A and B are shown apart, each in its own frame.
Chain A
Amino acid sequence: GDSVTQMEGPVTLSEEAFLTINCTYTATGYPSLFWYVQYPGEGLQLLLKATKADDKGSNKGFEATYRKETTSFHLEKGSVQVSDSAVYFCALSDRWAAGNKLTFGGGTRVLVKP
C-alpha cells in the first residue's frame, strides 16, 4: 500500500538558517504530493503541492520538487523565521485513492530560535 516516510524531529534551527525536511514515498499509482503545516493548536494548512513528476510547489518561501526517480518530495526554505516553528506533514493522494484520501507521514516538528 501507499506510505510516506519523513525525517523525525524535532529539528531545531536558528533564525535565518536553511531548512530541509526529507520526505520519501511509496505509491502504486500516480500520486499528488503535499506539504501541510500545523501551527500550535491549529488545524492543518496546505503549504504547497505538486501533481506530477518534476513539478515544483512553492509558497511563503518554501519549495519542494516532485522527484519520481527518487520518490521524494523534500521541503526546503532558505531562511527560516521564528514564525515557521510548527509541525510539517508530508502527504500523498494516489490517483486511485477513493475520495482523495490522504496518506500522511509521521510529521516533523520544527523549532526556530531567535
Chain B
Amino acid sequence: DAMVIQNPRYQVTQFGKPVTLSCSQTLNHNVMYWYQQKSSQAPKLLFHYYDKDFNNEADTPDNFQSRRPNTSFCFLDIRSPGLGDAAMYLCATSRVPVEFGSREQYFGPGTRLTVT
C-alpha cells in the first residue's frame, strides 16, 4: 500500500538536458513538497504546494520548477541540470489544517539523479 510514489527511482541525464521527476500520492494530502538531499545531509526544501498555491524557498535556483496538475501528482522540472544538481530528490506530503497535532510529513523513496 504505497502512499508516496516517486518515479523513476534512478534517473540519469546529461549536462544541460531538461529532466522531469514525478511524485504521486494516495493519502489525499493537500500539501506536497520537493526536497534535495546530498550525501545523507539533511534534506533541503526546494518548494512546496499548499493546495494549488506554489511556495518557493528563497534560495531555490530558478533552474528548478514544479507543477502540480491535481491533488495526487506533483512534478519537479530541472531545466538545465548541472553537475552540482546530482542528488537524491525527495517528495513528501502533509495535511493542513492540522488534526490532533499531526504535523508530520510522509516521504517517498526518492529519485537518485545522476548528471553526466
Contact = CB atoms under 8 A, between A and B. Distances in A.
B109 A99 contact: no
Interface of A: 32, 34, 36, 38, 41-46, 49, 51-52, 87, 89, 93, 97-102, 104-107, 109
Interface in B33-78: 33, 40-43, 45, 48, 50, 55
Contacts of B107: 36, 43-46
Nearest to B101: A51
Contact of A34 (B40, B96, B104): B104
A88 to B, nearest CB: 11
Contact of B42 (A41, A42, A99, A105): A105
Interface of B: 4, 6, 31, 33, 40-43, 45, 48, 50, 55, 90, 92, 94-96, 98, 100-110, 112
A42 B94 contact: no
Given A43-B108, A98-B55, 17 more contacts: A38-B40, A43-B4, A43-B6, A44-B43, A44-B90, A44-B92, A46-B104, A46-B106, A49-B104, A51-B101, A51-B103, A99-B33, A100-B95, A100-B96, A100-B98, A100-B105, A102-B45
B114 to A, nearest CB: 13
Nearest to B49: A99
A32 B41 contact: no
A45 B96 CA distance: 20
Contacts of B100: 51
Nearest to A4: B42
